[in-house]
């Protein structure tokens, strides 16, 4: 494979909100062009099934086992991805000549401490669906992109830093740069010129806010941070929440979606708070977790670029500015796509996987050596 090719990334993140589809043209080193993106939103039943799958996955010890609801969840998830691809090709038939697809799947359990990370998603079934939607030779499909890193002793996450680095090369902003993804969980990539990126998860982002809003109001999110903006942050309670050993640990480090659920239930005093105050403290927690990671970075970042769904939350952006004292820009403001960034990253990583290039590095996941990964399924067998 020489020169840039068209690649599609498919991402279903920890927010459990839908399948993001994005296309880029890339050689796995840099990005030659951005294509269109689209999201296929999960309905309430899909979401409920995935939430149940996460619960059932807590007891897994074998990453290939699909007991109970997990088999059905994997089938449904794969079907939704096939539908998302079909909708994408219907809207953009000119992109049926895609050469690579990166299929992240859905993380249902992430326990790198016991070398276990589980992404459900049936790669061979999705490859068959993709081949039925494209002309021969069709795309190669790459899935299960975290397993090799975890098997080698890495955290298996975050994997987007290689893509952040490729994108950041095109920016002219005061450095060091900190790219912050505000998904269900938050993760950062610290970039200082050509030095190896430093990365880790920082703590919860939207997952706790979404779960709190759902439980207290029935709404799936605090849209535009309206509730948090009307609340008061209990700084004492926030300090107690931040007194968790995760925040004192140096990177690399990563999280499962629900790692802070019990901790917040035990220490957050949220039950006694109004919806507004509860939303405010959880939003402030997200910002304060990013603040906590600054002490572990080689230098103080000059510019922060916020991406992911949380970048649409003006209250969260305000809290970040106030707590960090760093210039905060959104991904869209620097010409990136805040919503499609992760899906684009998995398109980029698919092409890297096809070329045998590393997806992760000692400074991003703690893997001992730069690590290739992903299971590769070839283009159309008939070709």
CB 257 within 8 A of CB 210: no
Asked if 203 is part of the footprint of ligand ATP (rule: CB under 6 A), the reply reads no
Closest CB to ligand ATP among 14 and 360?
A: 14
Closest CA to 164 of 177, 175, 173, 154: 177
Q: Which does 221 bind (CB under 5 to 8 A by kind): ligand ATP, ligand AH0, none?
A: ligand ATP
Of 9, 121, 225, 252, the one binding ligand ATP (CB under 6 A) is: 225
Specify the DSSP element, H or E, that contains 298. Answer: none
Per-residue contact flags (x/-) with ligand AH0 for residues 187 to 206, judged by CB under 6 A: x-------------x-----
Closest CB to ligand ATP among 162 and 185?
A: 185
Asked if 160 is part of the footprint of ligand AH0 (rule: CB under 6 A), the reply reads yes
Closest CB to ligand AH0 among 117 and 315?
A: 117
DSSP 151: H
User: Which parts of the chain fold into alpha helices (H)?
Assistant: 44-57, 69-91, 123-133, 147-151, 161-168, 206-217, 226-229, 235-242, 245-248, 261-267, 275-294, 314-324, 341-354, 362-365
* 254 annotated ligand binder: no
Of 27, 210, 211, 277, the one binding ligand ATP (CB under 6 A) is: 210
* 40 annotated ligand binder: no
Q: Which two tokens stand for residue 114?
A: 């016991």
Of 99, 159, 209, 288, the one binding ligand AH0 (CB under 6 A) is: 159
Of 26, 254, 313, 337, the one binding ligand AH0 (CB under 6 A) is: 254
Closest CB to ligand ATP among 134 and 254?
A: 254
| Buried-exposed string 56-95: b where 16+ CB fall within 10 A, e elsewhere | bbeebeebeebeebbeebbebbbebbbebbeebbeebeee
CA–CA separation, 226 vs 209, rounded Å?
Answer: 12
Asked if 17 is part of the footprint of ligand ATP (rule: CB under 6 A), the reply reads yes
For residue 135, the tally of other CB atoms under 10 A from its CB is 10
* 198 annotated ligand binder: no
Specify the DSSP element, H or E, that contains 370. Answer: none
Per-residue contact flags (x/-) with ligand AH0 for residues 336 to 365, judged by CB under 6 A: ------x-----------------------
Closest CB to ligand AH0 among 240 and 296?
A: 296
Closest CA to 129 of 142, 117, 118, 138: 138
Q: Which two tokens stand for residue 349?
A: 């990583």
Binding interface with ligand AH0 (CB under 6 A): 13-14, 107, 110, 117, 157-160, 181, 183-185, 187, 201, 254-255, 342
Q: Output the known binding site for ATP.
A: 13-20
Binding interface with ligand ATP (CB under 6 A): 13-15, 17, 181, 183-185, 206, 209-210, 221-225, 308-310, 312-313, 342
């Amino acid at each position: 494979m020489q020169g840039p090719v068209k690649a599609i990334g498919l991402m279903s993140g920890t927010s459990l909100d839908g399948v993001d589809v994005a296309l880029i043209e890339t050689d796995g080193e840099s990005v030659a062009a951005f294509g269109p993106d689209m999201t296929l939103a999960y309905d309430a039943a899909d979401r409920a099934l995935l939430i149940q799958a996460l619960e059932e996955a807590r007891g897994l010890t074998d990453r290939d086992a699909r007991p109970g609801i997990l088999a059905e969840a994997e089938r449904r998830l794969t079907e939704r991805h096939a539908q998302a691809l079909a909708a994408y090709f219907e809207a953009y038939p000119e992109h049926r000549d895609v050469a690579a697809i990166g299929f992240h799947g859905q993380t249902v359990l992430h326990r790198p401490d016991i070398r276990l990370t589980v992404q459900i998603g049936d790669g061979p079934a999705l490859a068959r669906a993709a081949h039925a939607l494209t002309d021969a030779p069709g795309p190669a499909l790459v899935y299960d992109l975290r397993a090799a890193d975890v098997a080698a002793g890495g955290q298996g996450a975050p994997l987007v830093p290689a893509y952040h680095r490729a994108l950041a090369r095109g920016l002219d902003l005061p450095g060091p740069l900190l790219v912050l993804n505000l998904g269900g969980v938050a993760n950062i990539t610290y970039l200082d010129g050509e030095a190896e990126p430093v990365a880790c998860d920082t703590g919860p982002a939207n997952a706790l806010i979404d779960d709190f809003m759902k439980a207290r109001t029935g709404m799936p999110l605090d849209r535009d941070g309206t509730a948090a903006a009307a609340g008061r942050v209990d700084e004492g309670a926030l300090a107690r929440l931040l007194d968790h050993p995760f925040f004192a640990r140096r990177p690399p480090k990563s999280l499962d979606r629900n790692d802070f659920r019990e901790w917040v239930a035990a220490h957050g005093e949220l039950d006694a708070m109004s919806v507004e105050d509860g939303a405010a403290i959880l939003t402030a927690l997200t910002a304060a977790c990013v603040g906590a990671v600054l002490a572990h970075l080689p230098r103080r970042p000059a510019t922060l670029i916020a991406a992911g769904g949380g970048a649409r939350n003006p209250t969260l952006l305000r809290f970040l500015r106030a707590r960090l004292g760093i210039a905060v820009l959104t991904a869209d403001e620097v010409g990136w796509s805040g919503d499609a960034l992760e899906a684009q990253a998995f398109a980029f990583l698919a092409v890297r996987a096809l070329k045998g290039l590393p997806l992760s590095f000692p400074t991003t996941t703690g893997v001992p050596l730069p690590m290739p990964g992903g299971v590769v399924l070839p283009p159309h067998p008939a070709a």
